[in-house]
Amino acid sequence: MPFKGFRVRFATTNKGKLREISLLLSEYSLEVEAVEAEKLEIQDDEIIRIAEYAASDLAGRLGYPVAVEDSGLHIEALNGFPGPYSSYIYRSIGLKGVLKLLEGVEDRRGFFESVVAYAEPDGRVRSFRGIAWGWISQAARGTGGFGFDPIFIPEEGDGRTFAEMTLEEKNRLSHRGRAMRSFGEWITSTQA
Amino acid sequence: MPFKGFRVRFATTNKGKLREISLLLSEYSLEVEAVEAEKLEIQDDEIIRIAEYAASDLAGRLGYPVAVEDSGLHIEALNGFPGPYSSYIYRSIGLKGVLKLLEGVEDRRGFFESVVAYAEPDGRVRSFRGIAWGWISQAARGTGGFGFDPIFIPEEGDGRTFAEMTLEEKNRLSHRGRAMRSFGEWITSTQA
């Protein structure tokens, strides 16, 4: 019997993220349902550990399988900053702050990382990672996406920032697109 | 019967912190024992919630009362950055990065915050907060203290940074000194 699709519960309150995830998983006939419950995010240098901890904790509390997506921008010349704290750093110093830190810096390489962690109430957790390499632009450009998208130029693109792309274009190249496709392939294969 | 002193268990691996805490609590005849167990640090904009969560979790796991100290530097012009993630931000962009973010910025006001959370295995937790206002120096100065001390000038001092002071001088004015004295007074009064 062919796979008919089902619903995946995602714990996120970020609307930009939810839009991207829904479009990406619709290609696998997966419907995304946003879970409102608050995630427990730990401090850790590794995003994968933050995502896995949050997913496991949530699945245990809710009693059903749940997915979590966590992501961050890592800038080489800044030793990986803003990394796992990208969201706080975006809210505090913003795009302007990150651009200022890179004034006069030649090496503007960095990568976006996305981790999807899927946990079941029995404690099993599985995660999927996606990376997009690129560099930090000289100035913010574009109004699409969210977070640090206006200052990130993916190396597999045509020079535009993530924020200058349509959702479909960004999803094709992005860290989140890659992580979600791995997750989508795995979950449909296990449920078929 | 006069208070005879006893031992307080502190969960910290930061040697600079431990040195300050031991000296501060010795004034209350309290002996500090470092607990090696790993703290669970959550992500939160409020340091008090991070400290209370870590202390409660640890006391529950260890089965005895334990204290945790968490601290951070909040810079007004940067919307509180580096705040609760001061340790990661110190390790990634360092003093140099913070000074660069403030280049050309007139308002260099900020404060250091310290929270001591003391938890018991039954779930009770009590916390003590200390604040030291001041401003960010134009350049790093001094070799004492740790973390952001070389760029912080407390307003109640004489213009030197925390890193240019002796441990005794810093403790008298510092956020950690204030939080520890509140804690020391409370714990000796409950145990007397």
- The burial class, CB within 10 Å (0-12 / 13-18 / 19+), for B186 is middle
Mean pLDDT, residues A31-48: 95
β-pair type (B66-75, B109-119): antiparallel
Exposed, middle or buried: residue B90 (CB in 10 Å: 0-12, 13-18, 19+)? middle
Q: Does A42 touch chain B (CB under 8 A)?
A: yes
Question: What value does the mean pLDDT take over residues A67-91?
Answer: 97
B92 and A CB contact within 8 Å: yes
Distance from CA of B88 to the nearest CA of A (A): 8
Residue B38 corresponds to which amino acid?
A: E
Q: How far does CA B113 lie from the centroid of its chain?
A: 6
Residue B185 touches partner A, C-beta closer than 8 Å: no
Mean pLDDT of all residues in A104-130: 97
Q: Note the pLDDT of residue B1.
A: 43
Quick one: tokens of A106? 């030649």
Q: What is the pLDDT of residue A191?
A: 73
- Between CA A67 and CA A74, with CA A70 as vertex, the angle to 5 degrees is 155
Band the pLDDT of A4: cuts 50, 70, 90.
low
Tokens representing residue A18 in the block = 């939810």
Q: What is the mean pLDDT of residues A114-140?
A: 98
Q: Does residue B71 surpass a pLDDT of 80? A: yes
pLDDT band at A13 (very low <50, low <70, confident <90, very high): confident
Answer whether A119's CB lies under 8 Å from A55's CB.
yes
Residue A6 has a pLDDT of 83
Interface confidence (ipTM) of the complex = 0.90
Give B128-176 as a DSSP string. Answer: EEEEEEEEE-SS---SSSSTTGGGEEETTSSS--GGGS-HHHHHHHSHH
| Separation between Cα atoms, residue B17 and residue B174, nearest integer Å | 12
d(CA A24, CA B30): 58
Take residue A114 and report the two structure tokens written for it: 């996305």
Structure tokens at B124: 């009770």
Determine contact: A78 vs chain B, CB below 8 A: yes
Average pLDDT over residues A129-138: 98
Which of the four pLDDT bands, split at 50, 70 and 90, describes residue B122?
A: very high
Q: Which domains does chain A have, with CATH numbers?
A: 7-191 (3.90.950.10)
Q: What is the pLDDT of residue A192?
A: 57
A93/B78 Cβ within 8 A: yes
Residue-wise pLDDT tens digits, B2-47: 455 689 999 998 888 999 999 999 999 999 999 989 999 999 999 9
Q: What band does A190 get if pLDDT is binned at 50, 70 and 90?
A: confident
Preceding amide of A84 cis, omega within 30: no
What would the mean pLDDT of A115-144 be, rounded to a whole number?
97
pLDDT above 90 covers a percentage of chain A that reads: 92
In the predicted model, is pLDDT for residue A77 greater than 70?
Answer: yes
A100: closest CA of chain B, how far (Å): 6
Q: Residue B192 above 60 pLDDT?
A: no
d(CA A133, CA A145): 17
When the pLDDT of each residue in chain B is averaged and rounded to a whole number, the result is 95
B79 close to A (CB below 8 A): yes
Instruction: Report, as an integer, the average pLDDT of B98-115.
Output: 98
More confident residue, A2 or B191: B191
Residue B50 sits at φ, ψ, to 5 deg, of -65, -45
SS3 B67: strand
pLDDT at B136 over 60: yes
**Residue B97 Cα, gap to closest chain A Cα (Å):** 6
Q: Which residue of B has its CA nearest to A74?
A: B92
Instruction: Decide if A10 contacts A34 (C-beta within 8 A).
Output: yes
A87 and A73 in contact (C-beta within 8 Å)?
Answer: no
Suggest the residue from A38, A75, A89 to mutate for an interface test with chain B (most B CBs closer than 10 A).
Answer: A89
pLDDT at B2: 47
